[in-house]
Amino acid sequence: MRPLSFAPLALATLLAFPAFADDTGKKKPSGPRVICAVQSKDGTRAVQGTDLVLEAGETLKDAVAVEGNVIVRKGAVVEDVVAIQGKVIVEAGAEVKGNVVALGGDIRLRKNAHVQGDAVALGGSINADEEATIDGDKVNFSLAFNGKELVRSFLKNALDEESGCTISFDDEGDKT
């Protein structure tokens, strides 16, 4: 079994890092929300605030979505997949050569989907059709307190803060 790669998790943490910044008491900006997407030269794609869909024929090293889902379609190949406050859906005939991680979301593996590494869902569940395969470990952990799932609550609160992926407007309506 291959050890869990922390590169996708580290990238996702960097994207979410502004959420942990000190609160200066400023009001959150109103207005449109900007969706961020990053494509690196090494084959990593990361998005925030939207779904990341890997289409047939695409090959990526890592796929990361913060506040969005990662959907791996039939014919797509990816090394590792991470969704933070979102779901990972591996469709029939899709292949993940490494690990699938969902923090605050679920993992859904359709019939004939294949994960060569581990499937880890913290604050969610792993749902695999009968003919889906996971070569590594299956780990899911959820902890609820007073009806609230703690991992999901933590991630929601952390990601509700301002991030570098917003457009803010001052009182006069000018874009900054």
Does the pTM surpass 0.85? The reply is no
pLDDT above 60: residue 82: yes
pLDDT greater at residue 16 or residue 112: 112
Handedness of CA 39, 44, 48, 54 (dihedral sign): positive
CATH class belonging to 7-15+33-157: mainly beta
Average pLDDT over residues 108-122: 96
Per-domain boundaries in the chain = 7-15+33-157
Share the mean pLDDT of the chain. Answer: 77
Q: Dihedral of the CA atoms 52, 57, 59, 65 (nearest 10)?
A: 10
Centroid of chain to Cα 163: 16
Both ends of the chain: CA-CA distance in Å? Answer: 49
Sign of CA dihedral 65, 28, 34, 11: negative
The single-letter DSSP state of residue 74 is T
For 45-75, write each residue's pLDDT tens digit. Answer: 999 889 999 999 999 999 999 889 999 999 9
